[in-house]
Amino acid sequence: MNYKFDVIVIGAGPAGYVCAIRCAQLGLKTACVDKRNTLGGTCLNIGCIPSKALLHSSYLYHQAHTQWEKHGIRIDGQLQLDIARMLERKQSVVQELTKGIDYLFKKNGITRLEGLGSLAEGNLVHVREEEDKIQTYSADHIVIATGSSPASLPGIAVDEKDIVTSTGALSFDRVPDHLVVVGGGYIGLEMGSIWARLGAKVTVIEFAQSIIPNMDRDIRTQAQKFLEAQGLSFNLGHKVSQVTRENNHITVTIESFKEGKKSLVTCDKLLVAAGRKPYTADLNLEKLGVALDERGYIQVDRSYKTSVPGIYAIGDVIPGPMLAHKGEEEGIAVAQIIAGKWGHVNYKTIPSVMYTHPEVAGVGLTEDLLQEQGRSYRVGKFPFLANSRAKGIGETTGFVKILVDQDNDEILGAHIIGPDAGTLIQEIVLAMEYKGSAEDIALTCHAHPGLSEAVKEAALEAHGCSIHI
């Protein structure tokens, strides 16, 4: 093997593998290091992909229980849940996609290095393939894309069996009687939704005064209302002060910030979903002088260069939203920059999606932020209850909300809760990317009957002329 490369990427998650592929496409001799024996990182192996597979399977089960009869579909006999088969399907989806990336590496001539990567002086990368076997490679450019890991909480010992992160919560071999979720963000609510649909009692403990605190306030309110209707209960403005275990029971002591009052919650499974932290362990960053900020993120400039020449960083290890698609865009941008081409990411148009039911999606500024900034704006809002396609499929909960500049009609942000919100948001993302206005969307023909007509109607309503309300 040739041990000299133009680019070595450390980490084969969405940021890393996309970066490696783009580097190879640009004619750079590229290698990618990852400690897993499958590509795709956390996202494909134990994160985004398996969770979405389970979300869909659990949603179908929930629909069979609650909605199918309305559509004239009757099930003779008892509806049964086969958890083992559901988990098997989830894993098959993961395997197909990770093998797909392996194929793409081969197609693009990328050298795959399996082992734990670390940095050394002189643009060298050590790869620990086994405990006592280390190979050394060199590259003109090294890209750190090692991702993130679950944040821990003091006093909570995770065993990934009864007290788990999202990794363990993806593999319960039975439906918990009572699942307590610490954290009311995307991960906690998605995982809580899965098991609530399958029959578990789910209690969410959230430090902030609302769930998904970074989302628009109208979305937060509606999302909590819909999730409560699905059986999730919430203790907001609470912290976990103690966790004890006795036999098969876990006792969680929670404390209210307002009153200081303590209460006990007993469960058989506890999910810790209190955020994630950049994964920089074992990289040898301090010895090389790679600068970190106060929260442990790698500091980079606009070209994703670290404080050490020849070393770049992208994805969850640098500041910004910890989203797979954000990392992918950075992977493409840094590859372009390394190849001497133009590379850029517009962080104002990165969408966020929560795949609960209904889905939640947002991009740009929230109404809270606009008010804090003192901006003059208008709101266009349209409910799915008035959308013909939503009526036809029986998915009428939620709305589309568009925020536009009062003076020039530029779209400043958009927020959707409802059917297929994660797809519908993309039309607005594209409009924002090209400085589009609400009028641009309003004057664009949308197929009828379609969910996307709700986006058009919200754009019309920003001018006070929605047709169907």
Q: What are the Cα distances from residue 263, in Å, to 154, 196, 235, 254?
A: 18, 22, 11, 6
- Both 244 and 261 in a single domain? yes
- Both 73 and 217 in a single domain? no
Exposure of 45 by Cβ count < 10 A (0-12 exposed, 13-18 middle, 19+ buried)?
buried
Q: At residue 258, does pLDDT exceed 90?
A: no
Domain boundary among 252, 274, 296: 274
Domain boundary among 301, 328, 347: 347
Cβ-contact 198, 61 below 8 angstroms: yes
- Both 60 and 176 in a single domain? no
- Both 330 and 441 in a single domain? no
Q: At residue 53, does pLDDT exceed 90?
A: yes
247 pLDDT band (50/70/90 cuts)? Answer: confident
CA distance 248 to 203: 18
- Both 135 and 85 in a single domain? yes
Cβ-contact 327, 13 below 8 angstroms: yes
Count of domains in the chain? 3
Q: Which of 71, 249, 344, 448 is flagged as catalytic? A: 448
- Both 73 and 93 in a single domain? yes
For CA atoms 100, 105, 106, 107, the dihedral sign is positive
- Tell whether 123 is covered by a domain: yes
- Give the tokens for residue 1: 């093997």
- Both 129 and 263 in a single domain? no
3 state DSSP class of 141: strand
Determine the structural domain holding residue 373 and report its residue range.
Answer: 358-461
Q: What is the mean pLDDT of the chain?
A: 96
- Both 84 and 140 in a single domain? yes
Q: E strands along 131-287, which residues?
A: 133-144, 148-150, 163-164, 178-182, 201-206, 232-236, 238-246, 249-256, 262-267, 269-272, 276-278
The mean per-residue pLDDT over the stretch 261-274 comes to 96
For the domain that residue 407 is a member of, what is the CATH number?
3.30.390.30
- Both 54 and 132 in a single domain? yes
Active site residue 448: yes
- Tell whether 157 is covered by a domain: no
Q: Strand order in 262-267's β-sheet?
A: 238-246, 249-256, 262-267
- Tell whether 253 is covered by a domain: yes
Q: At residue 2, does pLDDT exceed 70?
A: no
1 pLDDT band (50/70/90 cuts)? Answer: low
For the domain that residue 40 is a member of, what is the CATH number?
3.50.50.60
Q: What are the Cα distances from residue 419, in Å, to 180, 255, 400?
A: 27, 36, 10
Domain boundary among 225, 242, 274: 274
